[in-house]
Copies of this chain bind each other. A is one copy, B any other.
């Protein structure tokens, strides 16, 4: 509750990082930005005063500020040492999607530096890293907030944590966790009205709109969803060893899985995808005949300790079927909430809403450290 200074290091100035810096600039009582790093360059507030601070602005503006110390890429260990020596508590915001930086969270945390991040890699990798992160946080009396690793700024992890912490029994978690796959299925098999579009055409459209990764197979393989499920399952108390320890239904036809990930491989993939349209049309029709629609979902059955990711049929009047655009939806079935789940729905991707989750976490960490 005291007003001791808090120091902030930010790594990553991509889409999320840039949106985060814009939000940081407008936060009242924001911590002092003393490290701003991107892949090949680092800005530091000069020691030993850690002042003047770096302005919270886009990279070019920040880098043009006089009186900052500039260097090439620093090792995570060096940034941790710099932050730990600041005259007050420190926070690292990791706005990258870099697994190697995530593996260094324990180094920061043990030094008492709290971590806030939308980077899902560290929390969805081997269970040993998950355990190391939280043990290191306890050891360093530091905090770890990672709301935006699932559903971006939507209140997903905070809600699950509240349910667990207050003693509710979470029985099942189910939802659409990928904005890309949400768009693909809402377009391919809408719950109201109908669509004649072939699956491959919908994928091509999504790629053109920039809704997919540069290589759409990075969405279609289901791994992004599997990583999110891993995080949720662990918070719900399941010891999921890794995101490939449970069934994931890939939407990449087996025949195309071995095409290279090069630009040429992507082109080949897109041009051959129509060969498999009949398969997806068949899935759609089968659902249709049951009065249902097909969706790509992740689910966690807590009691059965079963996590899975793949296609499933849903009643047309269900919340999952009625999803719009590229929205996510997450349903928590619990003992207290009974037959009707607690549902959170909305945009689950995008720079601004992802950064919002990061900023809101940062505010909470600052409130706890002050």
Contact = CB atoms under 8 A, between A and B. Distances in A.
B166 A342 contact: no
Contacts of A303: none
Contacts of A23: 166-167
Contacts of A355: 166
Interface residues of A, number: 48
Contacts of A343: 343-346
A347 B337 contact: yes
Interface of A: 1, 23, 26-27, 141, 153-155, 158-159, 162-163, 165-168, 191-192, 317, 319, 322, 324-325, 327, 332, 336-347, 350, 352-353, 355-356, 359-360, 363, 367-369
Contacts of A317: 191-192, 322
A344 B347 contact: no
A179 to B, nearest CB: 11
Nearest to A25: B167
Contact of A322 (B153, B319, B337): B319
A1 B368 contact: yes
A322 B191 CA distance: 13
20 contacts: A1-B368, A1-B369, A153-B162, A155-B158, A155-B344, A158-B158, A162-B360, A163-B356, A165-B359, A192-B317, A317-B322, A319-B345, A324-B340, A336-B347, A336-B352, A340-B346, A342-B344, A342-B345, A342-B346, A342-B347
Contacts of A167: 23, 26-27, 359
A166 B363 contact: yes
What 6 pairs across the A-B complex have the smallest Cβ distances?
A: A342-B346, A162-B360, A343-B345, A166-B359, A155-B155, A336-B352
Contact of A368 (B322, B345, B367): B367
A355 B168 CA distance: 11
Given A23-B167, A319-B322, A327-B340, 14 more contacts: A27-B165, A153-B342, A155-B155, A166-B359, A166-B363, A167-B359, A192-B317, A317-B322, A319-B345, A322-B322, A336-B356, A337-B346, A342-B345, A344-B344
B168 A356 contact: yes
Contacts of A344: 155, 342-345
A347 B327 CA distance: 22
A325 B341 CA distance: 11
Nearest to A26: B167
A276 to B, nearest CB: 30
Nearest to A141: B1
Contacts of A327: 340
Contact of A353 (B155, B336, B359): B336
B325 A340 contact: yes
A301 B325 CA distance: 24
Contacts of A346: 332, 337, 340-343
A346 B163 CA distance: 13
A3 B154 CA distance: 32
Contacts of A322: 317, 319, 322
Contact of A347 (B27, B325, B340, B359): B340
A211 to B, nearest CB: 14
A208 to B, nearest CB: 19
